[in-house]
Amino acid sequence: MVQAAIENPSENIRDRVTYLVQQQRSFFATGKTKDIEFRIAQLNKLKQAIKDCQDEVMAAVHADLNKPSVEAYMTEVGVIQEINFVLKHLRAWAKPKSVALSLEQLPAQAKIYPEPLGVALIISPWNYPFQLMISPLVAAIAAGNCALLKPSELAPATSRVIANLIQKIFDPAYVAVVEGGIEVSQAVLAEKFDHIFFTGGTAIGKIVMQAAAQHLTPVTLELGGKSPCIVDADIHLEHTAKRIVWGKFINAGQTCVAPDYLLVDRRIKSALLEAMKTTLQEFYGDNPAVSPDYARIINAKQFDRLTGLLQDGKVVIGGETIAAEKYIAPTVLEDVSWDDRVMQDEIFGPILPLLDYENLEEAIAQINARPKPLALYVFSKNPQVQQQVLQQTSSGGVCINDTIMQIAPSTLPFGGVGDSGMGSYHGKAGFDTFSHFKSVLSKPFWLDLPWRYAPYKDKLALLKRIMGS
């Protein structure tokens, strides 16, 4: 197979990738992917293949991240729900849409035709290595594209499962996987694609965008950032603690939309801390290191980076580490300043700084002084507080009185803004991302009014009346 050749260091990686892209361009040129029945058939094949190999998927993400089976099913295999949603609505999305015309265009018809872009490159990260590859692939297939997939080499077990699954059900001229490290990434980014979809960190996102600019290739960048979590005094304390703890420490905090820091009304700071301690004990027991429900850090490099952040502030919950297991306990820090390292970049691990505020305006000002986050959370029973945060901040998405769950509905576009990314997907938004919307104006021959043709004498007044100026 082509994938095996790419993994062989004696082969010319760039030539192999170029060959794959050329194959896909040739296949796309046949027009086969534009057929709605073809797209639906491919999505059904993908859905069944995921069902058939769900145990392998869960075993792979456990091998890569020690991800518990419930988390793996919910956050990885659960991508089947997205396929079901797309299958339900695809025919309607793909139909040309008629739009209204102004008086001077009559008689005419205007329609918008969604059409596929061509060959897409999808680069996925290691933290949710299956779901964050398959979900954009579903959108690319639905829109009628061919796709080249580059899974993260940092999650090798899941990368292999993805490669095996795709090789089993798709012709590589239609959908193919290339596995490998930086050399493979450089090879794929050197090619010209019709769209690049990247999920990962901001630094690599800049490299992807720079490479895409060489070919004027449009990009979708799903990045991250320091997602704040505001906690008002007017809350349900137990539910707030459970939802924050779950959202922060699922996948050991390696989630792009995890709460990155808490901004807590100082009147309830102590009570919230106690409630979080209780919740952590309920979730993971007295020693999370032996809990079957708590994941691990992806590799030693990330482990070392995160343990370095434990030096900031004061540990009030957790703080224990086991290097041999890449284990970092669910940890909460107090006495953290905005200048500490832990507050400079996205944490992407099980460390949660807690800062307090005296008034909401102060908290909002601190959020707005920093790059726009991918997610923003606010816990409050007060609708005025909720609206104030919504209206005075900017973020990729917002979740009120919960965490993480805003990314689940296929009816809600998911994406960042500013430093947290550009473009969106999920459901219709994903179909739109991988489509070009072609505007078509069609006029009959049976009427041809002369108002726009030369000579223009005495026509200006008529033109102003027609155009409403």
Structure confidence by residue, pLDDT tens digits, 120-142: 999 999 999 999 999 999 999 99
Count of C-beta atoms within a 10 Å radius of residue 115? 14
How much is the average pLDDT of 380-396?
A: 98
Nearest to 319 by CA among 291, 361, 352: 352
CA atoms of 77 and 417, how far apart (whole Å):
27
CATH numbers and ranges of domains, the chain: 2-223+421-437 (3.40.605.10), 228-415 (3.40.309.10)
Residue 1 clears pLDDT 70, i.e. is over it: no
Altogether, the residues listed in the chain come to a count of 469
| Model confidence band, residue 397 (pLDDT cutoffs 50, 70, 90) | very high
Copy the structure tokens of residue 286.
Answer: 């007295």
**What pLDDT does residue 403 have?**
98
What residues act catalytically?
222, 256
Structure confidence by residue, pLDDT tens digits, 74-109: 999 999 999 999 999 999 999 999 999 988 888 999
Question: Parallel, antiparallel, or unpaired for β 109-116 and 435-442?
Answer: antiparallel
> Roughly how many angstroms between the first and final C-alpha of the chain, as a whole number?
65
Residues 146 and 118: beta-carbon distance below 8 Å: yes
pTM of the entire structure? 0.94
Structure confidence by residue, pLDDT tens digits, 144-197: 999 999 999 999 999 999 999 999 999 999 999 999 999 999 999 999 999 999
Question: Parallel, antiparallel, or unpaired for β 109-116 and 97-99?
Answer: antiparallel
CA atoms of 312 and 281, how far apart (whole Å):
24
Q: Indicate if the alpha-carbon torsion angle 151, 155, 156, 162 is positive or negative.
A: negative
Residue 6 clears pLDDT 80, i.e. is over it: no
**What pLDDT does residue 11 have?**
62
Nearest to 229 by CA among 339, 389, 413: 389
Which letter, b or e, does each residue of 281-313 get, where b requires 16 or more Cβ atoms within 10 Å of its Cβ?
eebbeeebbeeeebbbbbeeebbebbbebbebb
How deeply is 377 buried, as exposed, middle or buried, from its count of CB atoms within 10 A (0-12, 13-18, 19+)?
buried
